[in-house]
Amino acid sequence: MGMLSGHSVLLFGSGSLVAPVDELVGLLGAEVLHIDDQRALRRLARAEVLGAVDFDGGLEGAGYPIVRGREPSPEALVREQRLVAAELVAKLLSAQRGVALELDAVALLTERMAHTNFEPNDTTSVGGSATMISAANGWMALNLARPEDIELLPALLGQRVDAADWPSVRRAFAERTTAELENQAALLGLPLATVGGAASDEQAIARRQQRATSPWLIDGRVPGPRRLRPSRYLERDTNSLKVLELASLWAGPLCGRILRDAGCAVIKAESTVRPDGARRGSPTFFAALNDGKEPFRFDHTDPAGLDRLRQRIADADVVIDGSRPRVMDQWGVEREAFVRGGGQWVSITGYGATGPWANRVAFGDDAAASAGLVTPAGASTGEPPRFYADAAADPMTGLYAAIATLAGMASGSGHHLDLALREVAGFVNRPGS
């Protein structure tokens, strides 16, 4: 049963975004009412409607929040339409809490570039750490995002290679299959993905996401058909809700920023031993993501530091968790107890918090490539595929994580919201219906 079961969302008018908004609202469990005539509104009881998206600009005098729909450019791809639809749903859920959310979903894809000197490249990611490389049977996205990743290349390839001698690295890759390389990378904790992946791989099967039909799992399940039950409307003030952001880099902090802009009090938690790696990047981009959040620092190697963290978690209404599942177990944090107590636990990982790949490492560029979110290779020229946008899976996941969290807040019960970078990118990248 979806988080917004029993609620209705009104879509007034027509346009290219009606279908993707309907789909996304449906994945949250709400009933969608399509109305294109003011007279039809008289048949609706005020209490039936959570809010409305007005695509025609003619909806007035309603007793519920209204978000004005904006049409993407005529040449917008289906993936861009889905992002704008996500923007509208986020604004609607925020408006239901009394806050007008400022958000441009498509602009999130290029936000980091505005704060850096990053420039698009044919086979290298905008950020410079990921590259397209050819294995014996297909293209792969190799992400050497951390210094230790470069040191792992000989172990990955099973031979001595000099990372500075890139032609020799490419030759070694060309001698091995994508499956061999992916399996070895998983053992080493190295971000490496086959471009386009395999719809039937064991992780997708375990999570029932072979076609990426949802950007999230809710309490371990892909959202099913909508079911109605009596509506429950919370009078809870968003400003009183505490969000503990226990995440780093881009996706998790972006989710926290959107929740901050939606009126929540966000606390940014960082280990003093291992602070947010984004601090090593652009200071202005880090500030854009994290200004306005209350800082909280703890030492995860010190039992007293973990005690302080667990107390902060107990005091929070939402936890944004950007770590692999085993980390919380090692820290003695009981996610299930937090959810049973009514909290929203938001897991953001590369491949999901459950399944055989739960502890694999992925970043925004390679996760997007694994989902097939790339500019295709030249079939006849042998050109490699190119990365789409800048670490595209990161900002996409931050946006959808915020939507799921806002819906969870409105549901009146606790939920585990499980978002995988690869699955979010795959959901956005699905062909149009």
- The predicted pLDDT at position 231 comes to 40
Q: What's the whole-model pTM score?
A: 0.93
With cut-offs at 50, 70 and 90, classify the pLDDT of residue 307.
Answer: very high
Instruction: Tell whether the model's pLDDT for residue 232 goes beyond 50.
Output: no
With cut-offs at 50, 70 and 90, classify the pLDDT of residue 50.
Answer: confident
- The predicted pLDDT at position 228 comes to 44
Instruction: Tell whether the model's pLDDT for residue 35 goes beyond 90.
Output: no
Which CA distances in Å does 224 have to 2, 33, 217, 346, 405? 8, 18, 10, 19, 18
Paired tokens of 407: 């819906």
For 355-363, what is the mean pLDDT? Answer: 95
- The predicted pLDDT at position 124 comes to 87
Instruction: Tell whether the model's pLDDT for residue 68 goes beyond 70.
Output: yes
- The predicted pLDDT at position 295 comes to 96
- The predicted pLDDT at position 292 comes to 95
Instruction: Tell whether the model's pLDDT for residue 327 goes beyond 70.
Output: yes
- The predicted pLDDT at position 412 comes to 82
| Interatomic CA distance for residues 381 and 392, integer angstroms | 26
**CATH among 3.10.290.10, 3.30.1330.60, 3.40.50.2300, 3.90.1150.10 for 8-107:** 3.40.50.2300
| pLDDT single digits (tens) 144-168 | 988 889 999 999 999 999 888 999 9
Q: Measuring CA to CA, which residue among 201, 198, 184, 200 is closest to residue 138?
A: 198
User: Considering the chain, what percentage of its residues have pLDDT values greater than 90?
Assistant: 67
Instruction: Tell whether the model's pLDDT for residue 37 goes beyond 90.
Output: no
Of 242 and 57, which is predicted with more confidence?
242
With cut-offs at 50, 70 and 90, classify the pLDDT of residue 378.
Answer: low
DSSP 222-262: ---S------------GGG-EEEEE--TTHHHHHHHHHHHT
| pLDDT single digits (tens) 91-116 | 999 998 899 999 999 999 999 988 88
Instruction: Tell whether the model's pLDDT for residue 58 goes beyond 90.
Output: no
Of 396 and 37, which is predicted with more confidence?
396
Phi, psi of 160, deg, nearest 5: -75, 125
- The predicted pLDDT at position 377 comes to 64
Of 213 and 120, which is predicted with more confidence?
213
- The predicted pLDDT at position 410 comes to 87
| Interatomic CA distance for residues 138 and 187, integer angstroms | 21
Of 261 and 381, which is predicted with more confidence?
261
With cut-offs at 50, 70 and 90, classify the pLDDT of residue 74.
Answer: confident
Instruction: Tell whether the model's pLDDT for residue 224 goes beyond 90.
Output: no
Instruction: Tell whether the model's pLDDT for residue 142 goes beyond 70.
Output: yes
With cut-offs at 50, 70 and 90, classify the pLDDT of residue 433.
Answer: low
DSSP 294-331: EEEEE-TTSHHHHHHHHHHHHH-SEEEE-S-HHHHHHT
**CATH among 3.40.50.410, 2.130.10.10, 3.40.50.10540, 3.40.1710.10 for 108-115+208-356+391-429:** 3.40.50.10540
User: Considering the chain, what percentage of its residues have pLDDT values greater than 70?
Assistant: 91
Q: What is the mean pLDDT of the chain?
A: 89
Instruction: Tell whether the model's pLDDT for residue 59 goes beyond 70.
Output: yes
| Interatomic CA distance for residues 330 and 269, integer angstroms | 17
- The predicted pLDDT at position 62 comes to 73
- The predicted pLDDT at position 118 comes to 77
| CATH 3.40.50.10540 residue ranges for the chain | 108-115+208-356+391-429
